[in-house]
Amino acid sequence: MTSVMADLGRLYPWLDDAAKHFNLPPKMLEGMHVALEEVVMNVAMHGYAHGTPGEIIVHLGTESGAAVLRVEDYGPPFDPTSVQVPAKPVSLEDADAGGLGLNLLRHFCEDISYVREADSNRLTLRFPLEVS
Amino acid sequence: MPIFIEDLANGITKVVLTGRIDIAGSAEIDMPMSIIGGSRQAVIVDLSGVNFIASLGLRSIVLAGKTVMRRGGTMVLLAPQPAVEEVITTSGIDELFVISRDEAAAIAAVTPSPG
């Protein structure tokens, strides 16, 4: 899909279908929805912010006891795992409304890895299948 | 439209959000929420019908809440479902807004104390 709004709407029906295929638990799927939205919004708002919409490739699979979401884009290098997690806002004035996403992403997916490969960003989110 | 605005007694505004406040839903509530933020004093945001929200949707609510409070008003959140509340708690938004369990509590929370 591409990073244009209308295309991003296809994300969730696709994820629900794919999750059904792998028989993923509903609770995991809820977390996946949040994590995926945060990742894709990052790409759409920062990676492809200045210029024509770009390609985002999303893949769901399973491997060694985990469901694995992979998100790939061709924007400038951006490693969300290297960004300092912002502290929770202590007052309304401190709340950087845009900076909430990384907290959410890391809460709903504890195992995130990033590689820059040629001209693409590849982010891998692992969701353990065992109840932790 | 995932947003519906209802005027209650005593100048209280209830904003009812419904469904998925995802990327598309956030785009729809963004403008109405900012208008509410700039024009209302006592705002209850009813989240009971929301089954998904992430940082983009929270952003609309936080920005509106900031504006209301800067103008001396109050905004509270009403009855989020567990999955939505987990997102709210994780992001720390629960430290910024009162979360009421029922409408009576929400009305009490946004009503200025006499005197």
The pTM of the full predicted model, rounded to 2 decimals, is 0.89
Q: Which two tokens stand for residue B14?
A: 């209830």
Q: Mean pLDDT across the stretch A97-111?
A: 83
Strand segments (E) across A23-89: 56-63, 66-73
B27 and A33 within 8 Å at the Cβ level: the answer is: no
pLDDT (average), residues A68-97: 77
CB contact under 8 A, B92 and A41: no
A5: closest chain B residue by CA: B24
pLDDT tens for each residue of A11-55 = 899 999 999 999 999 999 999 999 999 999 888 877 777 667 788
Chain A residues within an 8 Å CB radius of B58: 97, 100
The predicted structure's pLDDT at residue A94 = 58
Tell me the CA distances in angstroms from A92 to A4, A33, A95, B66, B99, one per residue in order.
31, 26, 5, 6, 15
Residues 64-103 of B with CB under 8 A from A: 65-66, 69, 83, 87, 90-93, 95-96
pLDDT of A84 over the 80 cut: no
Q: Which chain A residues are Cβ-neighbours of B96 within 8 angstroms?
A: 89, 91-92, 95
pLDDT tens for B59-95 read 999 999 999 999 999 999 999 999 999 999 998 899 8
- Say what the pLDDT of residue A87 is: 65
Percent residues over pLDDT 90 in chain B: 88
Tokens of B35: 């208008």
- B30 interfaces chain A, CB cutoff of 8 Å: no
Minimal Cα distance from B88: which residue of A? A104
3-state secondary structure B67-105: HHHHCCCEEEEECCCHHHHHHHHHHCHHHCCEEECCHHH
ipTM: 0.86
**Quick one: pLDDT at residue B70?**
94
Query: Which pLDDT belongs to residue A47?
Result: 77
